[in-house]
């Protein structure tokens, strides 16, 4: 998710159109005056496009005739959601076109086709270990489930997954699709291609191939991936989604992708379907988008979305839509990431997950670090896939209950507007789902997992923070039994090296965890 654009970049009408490519998106800014605040805000909308619902009992023929008389055309009917994508007469602005549509006797509502953008912050150039998996205790969770028990697919409504990546190509399910942001028209994109790097990085966080002696591990080893591409190649720069401001998509294309996912839920090709939307737009959830979400949730799909990275007191759409689970970001020290949006909605339907410097898959078969709620969201979607694989009879609500009721409570006691129900804990979530209890030895004391730790085969040992010590400003240090400092860790995982990066010898080591609340000491046996 990207930090807010400067006022200068928002001060003019944005019109981007590339000849020969129907999917390129023109963007208009609509002024909206609030009498209550006396301020004018601006909404980005797809030029020449609107979303229209006709009144009950209006036939298709009558709707077409009424629109054509004023120069409008129905481009796509979304019968499942009860509304249509409508194109406007050439040269008619969105605001003026909406006024005409709303005045038609047959129209129940007419809404702008809002523009959504991929969400992230800038990347960190260094190559960290996957601290996030250790922070949420994924290593312990994998002892219960790795995601292969039952078919679950994470569908990314995003910029398109690079289908040739060695860690993602074997994980693809169903038929990848691309959606025209102007009309929502779908076409196959098989194998999937990337408009830019965003979806490829999100996909690796959720479900990169794991235990394959290559690159990185995804949260769910066995979950499949589906690429639902809603961004145009001509609008985005392949190696930087944010180098060109025109890299946006529309409400219609997002709804069209949701429509595709609904038809695949519980199918032989994909199994259970989880939608991840690491994109956003300011403002409330619109009626057309809420209509689409309502149908998806009624069908049984799970939907996760990035809370947003503007560091403001309300979360983005679609994260604020009813039925969509919102995910904020934490940093390496279990504090709220400085960019993560907050909202009272987090108290009822939100959680947080690591979202700073996550090492993941990248375009051109590579790897990169990524930051933002765009990557906290697929990490949580991957955890949902683990739970649903272990408990295929669970409903979407039961899966989220396992996530929220096992999260590590940070910030104010209980659910709050900053952390929601807390930072996800994969081990506790799996224990809760499988055994009915989230408790284990590490609930009340510092525990290393696995112990003994064999760096050659296990790579990282996870060091758990006792539940009653969960708090920001965490510090973890490794010592010899004689009290000599070996290494200060950046996260709750150790790779068996000292401060200089050299492997330590076999033996028993102490680790001390300190937070704002308390401190604890544990032991780990390292075997070379």
For residue 138, the model assigns a pLDDT of 87
- Sorted by where each begins, the domain ranges of the chain are 7-117, 130-435, 443-526
Radius of gyration (C-alpha) of the chain in whole angstroms: 24
CA 28 to chain centre: 26
Residues 6+ apart with CB under 8 A from 312: 341, 342
Query: The CATH number of 130-435 is which of 3.40.630.30, 1.10.10.10, 3.40.50.200, 3.40.640.10?
Result: 3.40.50.200
Choosing from 87, 198, 317, 343, the catalytic residue is 198
DSSP 213-226: SSS---S-SS-EEE
DSSP 392-427: TT--HHHHHHHHHTTSBP-SSSSSBTTTBT-B--HH
| Tokens at 274, concatenated | 């989880």
CATH code: domain 7-117 is 3.30.70.80
CATH code: domain 443-526 is 2.60.40
d(CA 497, CA 474): 20
Counting every residue written for the chain, the total comes to 528
Nearest to 469 by CA among 514, 421, 423: 514
Choosing from 210, 317, 374, 389, the catalytic residue is 374
d(CA 506, CA 508): 7
d(CA 445, CA 229): 45
141 three-class SS: helix
Choosing from 158, 233, 235, 408, the catalytic residue is 158
Type and span of the H or E element at 29: strand 27-34
Nearest to 524 by CA among 456, 452, 445, 440: 452
For residue 517, the model assigns a pLDDT of 82
For residue 19, the model assigns a pLDDT of 31
Based on the residue annotation, tell me whether 495 is a catalytic residue of this protein. no
Q: What is the pLDDT along the chain (528 residues), one digit of tens a residue?
A: 433 333 222 222 222 233 334 478 889 988 877 776 777 778 899 999 999 999 999 999 999 999 999 999 999 999 999 999 999 999 999 999 999 999 999 999 999 999 998 875 544 333 345 788 888 988 778 878 889 989 999 999 999 999 999 999 999 999 999 999 889 999 999 999 999 999 999 999 999 998 777 788 899 999 999 999 999 999 999 988 888 778 999 999 999 999 999 999 999 999 999 999 999 998 899 999 999 999 999 999 999 999 999 999 999 999 999 999 999 999 988 999 999 999 999 999 999 999 999 999 999 999 999 999 999 999 999 999 999 999 999 999 999 999 999 999 999 899 999 999 999 999 999 999 998 987 665 566 778 877 888 888 777 888 877 777 777 788 899 999 888 999 999 888 899 999 999 999 999 999 998 888 888 888 998 999
DSSP 122: P
For residue 5, the model assigns a pLDDT of 36
d(CA 411, CA 401): 20
Q: Does the reported pTM lie above 0.85?
A: no
Based on the residue annotation, tell me whether 462 is a catalytic residue of this protein. no
Based on the residue annotation, tell me whether 34 is a catalytic residue of this protein. no
d(CA 18, CA 352): 39
For residue 441, the model assigns a pLDDT of 54
Nearest to 348 by CA among 381, 386, 319: 319
For residues 251, 234, 242, 368, the Cα torsion angle rounded to the nearest 10 degrees is 110
For residues 336, 342, 348, 353, the Cα torsion angle rounded to the nearest 10 degrees is -30
């Amino acid at each position: 998710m990207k930090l807010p654009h400067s006022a200068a970049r928002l001060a003019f009408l944005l019109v981007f159109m590339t000849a020969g490519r129907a999917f390129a998106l023109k963007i208009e800014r609509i002024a909206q005056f609030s009498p209550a605040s006396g301020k004018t805000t601006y909404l980005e909308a797809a030029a020449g496009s609107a979303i229209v619902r006709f009144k009950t009992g209006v036939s298709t023929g009558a709707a077409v005739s009424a629109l054509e008389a004023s120069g409008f055309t129905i481009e796509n009917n979304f019968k499942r959601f009860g509304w249509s994508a409508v194109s406007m007469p050439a040269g008619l602005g969105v605001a003026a076109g909406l006024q005409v549509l709303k005045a038609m006797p047959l129209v129940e509502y007419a809404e702008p086709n809002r523009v959504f953008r991929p969400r992230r912050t800038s990347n960190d150039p260094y190559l960290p270990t996957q601290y996030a998996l250790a922070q949420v205790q994924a290593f312990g969770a994998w002892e219960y489930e790795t995601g292969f028990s039952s078919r679950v697919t994470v569908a990314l409504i995003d910029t398109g997954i690079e289908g040739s990546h060695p860690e993602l190509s074997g994980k693809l399910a169903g038929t990848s699709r691309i959606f025209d942001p102007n009309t929502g028209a779908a076409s196959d994109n098989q194998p999937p291609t990337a408009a830019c790097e965003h979806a490829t990085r999100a996909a690796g966080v959720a479900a990169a191939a794991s235990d394959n002696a290559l690159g990185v591990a995804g949260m769910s080893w066995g979950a499949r991936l589906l690429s639902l591409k809603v961004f145009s190649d001509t609008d985005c720069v392949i190696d930087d989604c944010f180098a060109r401001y025109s890299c946006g998509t529309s409400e219609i294309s997002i709804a069209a992708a949701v429509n595709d996912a609904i038809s695949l839920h519980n199918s032989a090709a994909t199994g259970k379907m989880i939608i991840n939307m690491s994109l956003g737009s300011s403002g409330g959830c619109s009626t057309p988008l809420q209509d689409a979400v309502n149908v998806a949730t009624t069908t049984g799909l799970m939907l996760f979305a990035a809370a947003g990275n503007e560091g403001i007191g309300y979360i983005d759409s679609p994260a604020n839509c009813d039925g969509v689970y919102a995910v904020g970001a934490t940093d390496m020290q279990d504090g709220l990431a400085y960019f993560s949006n907050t909202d009272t909605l987090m108290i009822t339907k939100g959680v947080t997950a690591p979202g700073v410097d996550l090492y993941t898959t990248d375009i051109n078969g590579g790897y990169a670090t990524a930051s933002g709620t765009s990557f906290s969201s697929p990490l949580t979607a991957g955890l949902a896939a683990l739970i649903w694989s272990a408990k295929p009879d669970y409903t979407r609500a039961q899966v989220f209950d396992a996530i929220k009721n096992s999260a590590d409570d940070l910030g104010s006691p209980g659910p709050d507007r900053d952390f929601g129900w807390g930072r996800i804990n994969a081990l506790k979530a799996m224990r809760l789902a499988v055994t009915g209890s989230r408790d284990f030895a590490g609930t009340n004391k510092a525990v290393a997992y696995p112990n003994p730790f064999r760096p050659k085969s296990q790579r990282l040992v996870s060091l758990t923070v006792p539940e009653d010590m969960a708090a920001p400003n965490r510090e973890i240090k490794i010592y010899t039994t004689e009290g000599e400092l070996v290494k200060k860790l950046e996260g709750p995982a150790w790779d068996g090296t000292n401060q200089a990066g050299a492997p330590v010898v076999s033996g028993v080591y102490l680790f001390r965890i300190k937070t704002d609340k308390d401190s604890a000491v544990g032991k780990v046996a390292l075997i070379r």
